Chains A and B, each alone.
Chain A
Amino acid sequence: MTLEAARDLLRAWTQTAQTPEANRLDIVVTAGDLLAAVDALKTSRWGYLSAITGLDHGREMPSLEVLYHFCSDAAIVTLRVSAPRENPSVPSICHLIPCAVVFERELAEMFGITVVGIPDADRLFLPDDWDETVYPLRKDAKLE
Chain B
Amino acid sequence: MAEKFTIPIGPQHPALKEPGHFEFMVDGEIITGASVRLGYVHRGIEKAAEGRNWTQDIYLLERICGICSHVHALAFCLGVEQLAGVSAPPRAQAIRVLIAELERIHSHFLWLGVAAHEAGFDTLFMYAWRDRETVMDALETFTGNRVNYSANLLGGVKCDVTPDIASQIYRAVDNLEERTRHYLNVITSDDSLAERTRGVGVMTPEQADQLGVMGPTARASGVMRDIRVVAPYAAYTDFPIQPVTETAGDLQARFIVRLSELFESYRLIRSILDHLPAGDLKTRMPRRVKAGETISRVEAPRGELFYFIRSNGTDMPDRVKVRTPTLCNLASVLTLVIGRQIADIPMILVGIDPCFSCNDRAVSLVDNKGERRWTWEALRQYGIDYYRRWR
Contact = CB atoms under 8 A, between A and B. Distances in A.
Q: Do A and B actually bind?
A: yes
B211 A98 contact: yes
Contacts of B126: none
A13 interface: no
Interface stretch (A2-10, A32-40, A69-77): A69-77
A62 interface: no
Interface string A113-130: 000000010111111000
Contacts of A143: 44, 47
Contact of B231 (A53, A74, A78, A123): A74
Contact of B39 (A20, A127, A141): A127
Contacts of A136: 44, 47
A27 interface: no
Interface string B278-305: 0000000000000011110100000010
Contact of B306 (A51, A54, A98, A123): A51
A69 B295 contact: yes
Nearest to B319: A55
Contacts of B292: 20
A102 B36 contact: yes
A38 B35 CA distance: 24
B335 A122 contact: no
A127 B293 CA distance: 31
Interface residues of B, number: 35
B294 A99 contact: no
B323 A73 contact: no
B378 interface: no
A20 B306 contact: no
B37 A21 contact: no
A124 B330 CA distance: 12
Given A71-B297, A136-B44, A99 B332 contact: yes
A73 B212 CA distance: 14
A24 B306 CA distance: 14
Interface of A: 20-21, 23-24, 48-51, 53-55, 67, 69, 71, 73-74, 76, 78, 97-99, 101-103, 110, 120, 122-127, 136-137, 141, 143
Given A53-B319, A71-B297, A78-B295, 20 more contacts: A20-B292, A20-B294, A48-B212, A50-B297, A50-B304, A51-B323, A98-B210, A98-B331, A99-B212, A101-B334, A102-B328, A103-B323, A122-B35, A122-B37, A123-B39, A126-B39, A127-B39, A136-B47, A137-B46, A143-B47
24 contacts: A20-B294, A21-B82, A48-B209, A50-B304, A50-B323, A51-B308, A55-B319, A69-B308, A78-B295, A97-B212, A98-B210, A98-B331, A101-B334, A102-B330, A103-B327, A122-B35, A123-B37, A123-B39, A124-B38, A125-B42, A126-B42, A127-B39, A136-B47, A143-B47
Those 6 A-B pairs whose CB atoms lie nearest each other, nearest first: A74-B231, A51-B323, A99-B212, A99-B331, A125-B42, A73-B230
